[in-house]
Amino acid sequence: MNETIDIVNSVFLASWKVLLDSAPFVLLGFFMSGLLKAFLPDNFVARHLSGRGIGSVLKAALLGVPIPLCSCGVLPAAAGLKKQGAGKGALASFLISTPETGKDAIAVTYALLDPLMTIIRPVVAVLMAIVTGISVSFFEEDKKNPAHPEGSGVAPDMEACGSSCCGSVHETHGKRTAGEKFRDGMSFAFGDLLKDVAGWLFIGILISGLISVFVSEEMVTRYLSNDYLAMVLMFLLSVPLYVCATSSTPIVAALALKGISPGAALVFLLAGPATNAASLPVISKILGRKATVAYLVSIVLFSLAAGVFVNHLYGFLGMDVRNWVSHVKHEDGGVLEIASSIVLIMLVVKSYMPSKQPHSCCTEAHEHHGGHHEHGHAHSHEKGTHEDHAHCGCGK
C-alpha cells in the first residue's frame, strides 16, 4: 500500500514539475492565439484558400501558421473550406500546417525542449504541409464541380470533431471596436480553444509523469538506441494516440530526458497531431480514400526523412543527441510558475463549466445557409455563408 502511494506521489510530482515549466508559456501561447482570432479578418482563410493548384497549397501552408486552431478544431474548418471550393491539396496542407504551428505548441516546445527544436518544429511542419499538399493534389478530381463536391456537407464532420471545436460566435456584420474584438478573441482563446486543447495537454503531462517514473534510461538505451528503429516506433506510437501538437510535447520531453534522439522526437511531434486515429476517418471523408493514402504516405516518408536530417544537424552542430534537452529549469517552481499553473487549472475548469447562454456558431452558419440572412446580405447567399464559417471556429 505504501509502495503504491509512493508511486502515485512520484508520478504527481513529476507531472507537476512539467506543468510548472509549461504553464507560463501555455498561457502566453493562448494569449497570442486570442490576438490573432480578434484581429485577423473574418474571411481571411476563405478568401485565400478557395482555389486549386500548387499556389493554393503554398498559401494554405503559410496561412495555416497564424490560424489559432487545434488538431480537433481544424477538421470542421477544413470541411467548410471544402464546401467553399478549396482543392484537396490545399486542404491537406491546411490540415497539417494549422495545428502543427500553434502558438501554444511552439511556446511549450521552447519551455520543455530546446531553442533549436522550437525553430525546427514549425519550419519542418510547414515544409511537410507543402510536400503533402502537392502529393495529394495529384488526386484532384477536375471533372467534379469544386463548388459542390460530393459529401462536402459540414455538419457530419463537425459532429465527429466535437461541440467545442466550433468556437464562440461573434457578430459577423457591423464594425466592432478594438476592445470588443480583443474581448471576443480572449473569450475564444481561453474558452473554446483552451477547452479543445487543455484536456489533452493535461493527459500529455500525466503521461510524461508516468514515463519519468516507469521508463528508465537503461530501457531507452536497450530498446531505442537504434535511431532508425526509434523513429519508426515513435511513428507507430503516435497513430493510436489522440495527441494534439501541444499535448505531444511533454510526452516527447519526458522521453528526451531518458535519452531519445531529437530525430525520433521530431517524428512523434510531426506525426502525432497529423495522423491520430480519431481524426483519420474525418480526414478520409474530407479528402477521399486515395488522397488520404497519399496524405499518410507523405507524412510517414517526410517525418522519417526529417528525423534523420535533424539528427545529423544536431551532430553537425556538436550537440549530443542523447542529452539535447536541458533538465528541469525550475526545480521547485518560482512564483510565476506556480501562479501560472494555478491560473491555467482554474481557466480549464471554467472552460468546462456549462455556459448560461450556449450559442453555436455552427447553428448560426447553417441558418444562414438555409436562407436566413440579415443586415441586407440576402443578395449574396454564398458570401454570407462563407464569412460565417470563416469567422467562427467552424471555418476559421
SS (H, E, C) the chain: CHHHHHHHHHHHHHHHHHHHHHHHHHHHHHHHHHHHHHHCCCCHHHHHHCCCCHHHHHHHHHHCCCCCCCCCCHHHHHHHHHHCCCCHHHHHHHHHHHHHCCHHHHHHHHHHCCHHHHHHHHHHHHHHHHHHHHHHHCCCCCCCCCCCCCCCCCHHHHHHHCHHHHCCCCCCCCCCCHHHHHHHHHHHHHHHHHHHHHHHHHHHHHHHHHHHHHCCHHHHHHHHCCHHHHHHHHHHHHCCCCCCHHHHHHHHHHHHHHCCCHHHHHHHHHHHHHHCCCCHHHHHHHHCHHHHHHHHHHHHHHHHHHHHHHHHHHHHCCCCCCCCCCCCCCCCCCHHHHHHHHHHHHHHHHHCCCCCCCCCHHHHHHHHHCCCCCCCCCCCHHHHHHHHHHHCCCCC
**386 pLDDT above the threshold of 70:** no
Greatest mean pLDDT among 143-147, 300-304, 322-326 lies in 300-304
In a domain, 94, yes or no: yes
* Residue 24: predicted pLDDT: 85
Mean pLDDT, range 252-268, rounded to an integer: 90
Range with the largest mean pLDDT of 34-38, 87-91, 132-136: 132-136
**Over 70: is that where the pLDDT of 380 sits?**
no
Share of the chain above pLDDT 70, in %: 74
In a domain, 372, yes or no: yes
Assign 363 a pLDDT band (cuts: 50, 70, 90). very low
Q: For residue 371, what pLDDT is reported?
A: 42
Using the predicted structure, report yes or no on whether residue 153 has a pLDDT greater than 70: no
Q: Tens digits of per-residue pLDDT, 213-247?
A: 887 777 777 777 788 999 999 888 887 776 778 88
**Considering the domain boundaries, does residue 4 fall inside one?**
no
Per-residue pLDDT of 166-209, as tens digits, reads: 443 344 445 788 888 899 888 888 888 788 777 777 887 888 78
72-76, 298-302, 329-333, 354-358: segment of lowest average pLDDT: 329-333
- Identify the pLDDT of residue 176: 81
Please compute the mean of the pLDDT values over residues 366-375 and round it to a whole number.
41
Q: List, for residues 37-93, the tens digit of each pLDDT value.
A: 788 776 666 676 666 678 889 988 998 888 777 776 677 778 767 876 778 999 999
The mean predicted confidence, pLDDT, of the chain is: 76
pLDDT of 94 strictly over 60 = yes
- Domain presence at residue 3: no
The predicted pLDDT at position 267 comes to: 94
- Asked whether residue 1 is domain-assigned, the answer is no
Which domain does 16 fall in, by range? 10-391
In the prediction, which pLDDT does 247 show? Answer: 82
Of residues 382 and 297, more confidently modeled: 297
- The answer to whether position 306 is within a domain reads yes
| pLDDT of 293 | 93
The answer, yes or no, to whether residue 385 has pLDDT greater than 50, is no
Between 72 and 257, the more confident residue is 257
pLDDT value, residue 264: 93
Q: What is the pLDDT of residue 168?
A: 38
pLDDT of residue 393: 39
Residue 342 domain-assigned?
yes
Task: Provide the pLDDT for residue 367.
Answer: 40
**Domains: count for the chain:** 1
